[in-house]
Amino acid sequence: MTAQLLDGKATAATIKAELTERVAALAARGVRPGLGTLLVGDDPGSRWYVEGKHRDCAEVGIASIREDLPADATQEDIEAAVRRLNEDPECTGFIVQLPLPRGIDTNRVLELVDPDKDADGLHPTNLGRLVLRVNEPVTSPLPCTPRGIVDLLLRHDVDLHGADVVVVGRGVTVGRSIGLLLTRREINATVTLTHTGTEDLAEHTRNADVIVAAAGVPGIITADIVKPGAVVIDVGVSRATDPETGKSRVVGDVDPGVLEIASWVSPNPGGVGPMTRAMLLTNVVDTAERLAG
C-alpha cells in the first residue's frame, strides 16, 4: 500500500476560489471584509508569516490592515494597538502575531482581543462557546488549524463519523482544541488525546482510524505504530539540518515509512499549513457575512 496525499495546497486553492466569490457577493452589498495583523518587532519568520497572510487577502479581495510596532514596544503600546483594531470598523478580524517580545504579558494581550474579531479562533470566550455548543451551530470564529484539518479530511471524503481519532500533542493550537470540533455531534468522532508524556503511545495509535500528529517531535509517528489503512495527519513542525546541503529544512512528526502503511497522509510542508491560512480567511469572511445579516 502507498498512501494517497491529502493535498493541502490544492484544497486551500479551492477554498480561496470559493471565498473570492463570497467576498464579491459581500462587495455587491457594500461590505468588504478586513483582516488586521499586529506584529511587534522584526523577526524574519514572523514578518514572512504576516506578509503571507496579506498576500492571501489580496488574492481573495479582503482588505489588509496592519499594526507594526518596534521590538521595544511596551505593554501599553501593544494593548493600545489591540484596542485600535478592536475599534476599527474596517477590521472584521485580526491576529496578534506570536511570539511577543520577552517581558510582555501575552495572555493579557490576547484576552483583550474582541472575541468577535478573533481571526485565530483561540480566544478563551470562543473556545468556551465551542465547549458548550455540542449540538447547535457555532456562530463564533473556530480555531484555524483544527478547522483546516477537519475540512481537509471531509473534502477528501474521509468518513469521521464514529472514527477512532488519536491526537498526539497537547498544545492549544491543535491538541487541546481539535477534540472540541471532532466530538461535536455533526462529526461524531471518538477522540483520545495523547502527548510526549504518554507512557505507551503505540497502544493508542495502533488502533486509531485517524492519527493527528501535532507533538513537534520529528518522526514520532513510525510505520510500526500505525494501523494499516489509517489516515495520518502530519501537523508538527520542527527544523532539521540536511546532511547533504547543510541547510535547515522543515520536518514533520510523521516518518516517511508511514506512507507504506497508511491510506492517506498529509504532507509536511504542503498539507495542514495552507489549510490553516485558508481557514483564517474563512473566519474573517464568515464574520463579515454574519455582520451583514
pTM over 0.85: yes
Q: What is the CATH number of the domain that holds 247?
A: 3.40.50.720
Q: Which of 97, 117, 234, 253 is catalytic?
A: 97
54: pLDDT strictly greater than 70: yes
Domain termination residue (choose one: 94, 124, 154): 124
CA gap 221, 166 in Å, rounded: 12
Pair 116, 224 in one domain:
no
* Domain coverage including residue 178: 142-271
Pair 120, 210 in one domain:
no
The 10s digit of each residue's pLDDT in 204-228 is: 999 999 999 999 999 999 999 999 9
Q: What is the CATH number of the domain that holds 55?
A: 3.40.50.10860
Residue ranges of the annotated binding site are: 169-171, 237
246: pLDDT strictly greater than 90: no
Pair 146, 264 in one domain:
yes
- Name the domain count of the chain: 2
Q: Is 75 a catalytic residue?
A: no
* 16 in a structural domain: no
Pair 120, 177 in one domain:
no
1: pLDDT strictly greater than 80: no
| Contact criterion met (CB below 8 Å) for 50 and 39 | yes
Q: Which of 7, 56, 118, 120 is catalytic?
A: 120
Q: Is 253 a catalytic residue?
A: no
Residue ranges of the annotated binding site for NADP(+) are: 169-171, 237
* 169 in a structural domain: yes
CA gap 242, 196 in Å, rounded: 25
Pair 202, 148 in one domain:
yes
* 60 in a structural domain: yes
Q: Is 9 a catalytic residue?
A: no
